[in-house]
Amino acid sequence: MSLQEQISASLKDAMKMREAERLSTLRLINAAIKDKGIALRGEGGERGVTDAEILAILGRMVKQRQESARAYEEGGRLELAEKERAEIAVIEEYLPRQLGQEEIAAAVDAAIAETGASSIRDMGRVMAALKAKYTGQMDFGAVGPMVKDRLG
C-alpha cells in the first residue's frame, strides 16, 4: 500500500470515527499531495506523486508547524501552539522513524565514502546521496553543517 493510499484510508477512518482534528490535518495532507500532483501535470509529467515526494511534503509540513508552534509560544498563544503540535503528531504517523545523532553521523560518513567526496565542492553530491536514502528520516538543514565540517 502506497503512502497516499494509507493517508486516504486514514482519512476515511477519521470520518467514520468523527475525529474532527485528525480529519482536518489529514485533509491538509491530502490537499498538499494533490497540489503536488497538479504541479507535476503542469510540468508535462503524467506520473503520480511518489512516496519520496510525499515524504518531502510531510517533512515540510512538520517543519512549518514547528516554527508556528514556536511563534505562538513566544506570543503567549499556548492553545494555538498545542493545536500545531497535535497536527505534527498526526503528520509524523506517516513519516519514517527519525534517525538519532549517531545514526546520522554514520549515514553522513557512509555517504561521503560512497560518493568519494574529498572537498567542500563535493557537498552537493553528498547531500543528494543522503536525500535519496534518508528523506523524511533526518533534518537536512541540520545535516548540512555536519557534512560541511567533515569535508572542510
Name the pLDDT band for 45 (thresholds 50, 70, 90).
low
What pLDDT score does 134 carry?
86
- Same-domain pairing of 75 and 122: no
Residue range 100-113, pLDDT digits in tens: 899 999 999 999 99
**Model's pTM, two decimal places?**
0.76
What pLDDT score does 103 carry?
92
- Within 10 A of 22 (CB to CB), how many other CB atoms are there? 20
Question: What does the longest C-alpha to C-alpha distance in the chain come to?
Answer: 55
Residues listed for the chain? 152
Domain boundary among 92, 122, 137: 92
> Cα 40 from chain centroid?
19
- Same-domain pairing of 86 and 14: yes
Residue range 116-149, pLDDT digits in tens: 888 899 899 999 999 888 877 888 888 989 999 8
- Same-domain pairing of 52 and 126: no
* DSSP helix/strand/coil, 5: helix
What pLDDT score does 142 carry?
85
